[in-house]
Amino acid sequence: MADRFDVVIVGAGHGGAQAAIVLRQRGFAGTIALVGDEPELPYERPPLSKDYLAGDKPFERMLIRPAGFWAERAVTLLPGTEVTTVDPAARRLNTAGGATIGYGDLIWATGGRARRIACPGHALSGVHCVRDRADADRMIAELPEVRDVVVIGGGYIGLEAAAVLTKLGRAVTVVEAQDRVLARVAGPDLSRFYEAEHRAHGVDIRLSSGVAAIEGDEGRVSGVRLTDGTVLPAQMVIVGIGIVPAVAPLLAAGAAGGNGVDVDTQCRTSLPHIYAIGDCAHHANPYAGGAMIRLESVQNAHDQANVAVQSILGEPAHYDAVPWFWSNQYDLKLQTVGLSAGHDATVLRGDPAARQFAVLYLREGRVIALDCVNATRDYVQGRALVTTRARIDPERLADTTVPLKELIRE
Ligand code: FAD
């Protein structure tokens, strides 16, 4: 194995794989290494809490590219390789296995580790998170012995897992510390809709509830004790309380950051020749009013990969892509565009009871985001409202007889 590559990409997930793909698409002829600590070929993460967990999608169909692709494009894959330290002055990094790899440019695309819960019992067998294939496989292997599941955290991943496991016949309780699910990412209308949907499917949703301890029996989880003393029986617990960006080696090397690693609009970190992209990149986002944020989405990982590659190729671009995201729960397809945080008004378009509607988020009269449930046409047409920050009469926005694309033209 060569011990120096022109571009080394650390993290072989969505962002890392996309960076390698785009380097070759744009004609980059230098050497590329894609280094990842998972044993797998690069794969798509979203199905882990959706159709892969449900047993409806085989792992092979989640590969980002077929196995032969990487060799054909002369991308050196180094799976099962954890990078532990970075030496920016010598342009070298070290791996847990003791290898040293030199780089011309480095793209840091390590995503994040699932945040662990800090209560007693967190390390019992049967307590899971859903971040990688190994996590999902462990859950799938245990499921035959499981009747009751407690999901800690009512975010997208927790709710998706709850929907799948309910469909698989398990009794699921979701415990959420806030007074509504999806509180970090959506407005109250959407939260209430999803709470009602889950309850209608038999999920027990406990809001404003804290976890005091995970209880066990002979090393295996037996229940979850809430702060109000209630004990929920569980043979499986899923902790979905967010991620911690995997940036320790970069911060130790002197990169600016804290909540991830700070990057500029070209995805450059404060260290020379080192870029960061995806879940771990703390960046100023125009759709957040220029605030420094991290986004955890396939869109962001892909679009930042494109920007970092353009910087490396000397064709600098600035990251200003409109954020979008999706979530599948039961037969509900949620598609979001823009960022709703900071909205001061909402418009409901359509009827939640019909299970087809959109919530439009406004700030100072301008459309900043849409959450669309089974409403792909509004999602597609509403994108331009967000990118142009359109100022449109809320009554017109609510009128489902008028396609959103017509409002833009007015
Ligand atoms: P990742 O894809 O997480 O890749 C990072 C890789 O780097 C991992 O393989 C990690 O193990 C590796 N790594 C970390 N540290 C090191 C190190 N020191 N050395 C070597 N390798 C390292 N997004 C959506 O848009 N829609 C969805 O529906 C959706 N559903 C999701 C469901 C689940 C269960 C999960 C976990 C995520 C979901 N996401 C979804 C989020 C999306 O998958 C992430 O935003 C995306 O994967 C981020 O890409 P990334 O390249 O930044 O990180």
Task: Return the pLDDT at 390.
Answer: 87
Residues 235 and 146: their CA atoms lie apart, in Å, by: 5
Contacts for 181 with CB less than 8 Å, ≥ 6 apart: 154, 155, 159, 174, 191, 194, 195, 198, 205, 207
CA–centroid distance, 45 to ligand 1, in Å, is: 6
Task: Return the pLDDT at 294.
Answer: 98
pLDDT above 70: residue 214: yes
Residue 187 backbone phi and psi in degrees, to 5:
-80, 170
CA–centroid distance, 14 to ligand 1, in Å, is: 6
Task: Return the pLDDT at 280.
Answer: 98
Contact 223, 232 (CB under 8 A): yes
Task: Return the pLDDT at 190.
Answer: 96
Give me the mean pLDDT over the 364-374 stretch: 97
Task: Return the pLDDT at 153.
Answer: 98
Contact 136, 46 (CB under 8 A): no
pLDDT in tens, 110-153: 999 999 999 999 999 999 999 999 999 999 999 999 999 999 99
pLDDT in tens, 242-297: 999 999 999 999 999 999 999 999 999 999 999 999 999 999 999 999 999 999 99
Reduced 3-state DSSP string for 60-99? HHHECCCHHHHHHCCEEEECCCCEEEEECCCCEEEECCCC
pLDDT above 70: residue 348: yes
Q: Where does the pLDDT of residue 109 fall: very low under 50, low under 70, confident under 90, or very high at 90 and above?
A: very high
Task: Return the pLDDT at 90.
Answer: 98
Ligand 1 pocket mutation, candidates 159, 297, 329, 379, criterion most atoms within 8 A of CB: 297
Q: Where does the pLDDT of residue 408 fall: very low under 50, low under 70, confident under 90, or very high at 90 and above?
A: confident
CA–centroid distance, 13 to ligand 1, in Å, is: 6
Beta-strand pair 92-95/83-87: antiparallel
Amino acid identity for residue 277 in this structure: I
Q: Is 401 helix (H, G, I), strand (E, B) or coil?
A: coil
CA–centroid distance, 21 to ligand 1, in Å, is: 17
Contacts for 217 with CB less than 8 Å, ≥ 6 apart: none
Q: Which atom of ligand 1 is nearest to the CA of 84?
A: 18
CA–centroid distance, 75 to ligand 1, in Å, is: 20
Angle 213-119-247 from CA coordinates, rounded to 5°: 150
pLDDT above 80: residue 409: no
pLDDT above 90: residue 364: yes
Q: Whose CA is nearest to atom 41 of ligand 1?
A: 297
Bridge partners of residue 275, in order along the sequence: 107, 268
pLDDT above 90: residue 73: yes
DSSP 2: -
Task: Return the pLDDT at 334.
Answer: 98
pLDDT in tens, 77-101: 999 999 999 999 999 999 999 999 9
How would DSSP label each residue in 91-148?
Answer: TEEEETTS-EEEEEEEEE---EEEPPP-STTTTSBTEE--SSHHHHHHHHHHGGG-SE
CA–centroid distance, 112 to ligand 1, in Å, is: 7
Q: Whose CA is nearest to atom 43 of ligand 1?
A: 45
Residue 119 burial class via C-beta count within 10 angstroms: exposed 0-12, middle 13-18, buried 19 and up: middle
Residues 369 and 389: their CA atoms lie apart, in Å, by: 9
Q: Which atom of ligand 1 is nearest to the CA of 249?
A: 18
Q: Whose CA is nearest to atom 31 of ligand 1?
A: 46
The chain-wide mean pLDDT, for the chain, equals: 97
Contact 232, 173 (CB under 8 A): yes
Measured in whole angstroms, how far is the alpha carbon of residue 356 from the centre of its chain?
24
Beta-strand pair 260-262/257-258: antiparallel
Ligand 1 pocket mutation, candidates 8, 10, 14, 329, criterion most atoms within 8 A of CB: 14
pLDDT in tens, 3-50: 999 999 999 999 999 999 999 999 999 999 999 999 999 999 999 999
Q: How far is CA 374 from CA 31, 333, 351, in A?
A: 44, 5, 11
Contacts for 354 with CB less than 8 Å, ≥ 6 apart: none
Angle 318-47-35 from CA coordinates, rounded to 5°: 55
Residues with CB under 6 A from ligand 1: 10-16, 35-38, 45-46, 48-49, 82-83, 109-111, 130-131, 157, 246, 249, 278-279, 296-299, 301, 325-327
Q: Which atom of ligand 1 is nearest to the CA of 45?
A: 43
Residues in the chain, total: 410
pLDDT above 60: residue 2: no
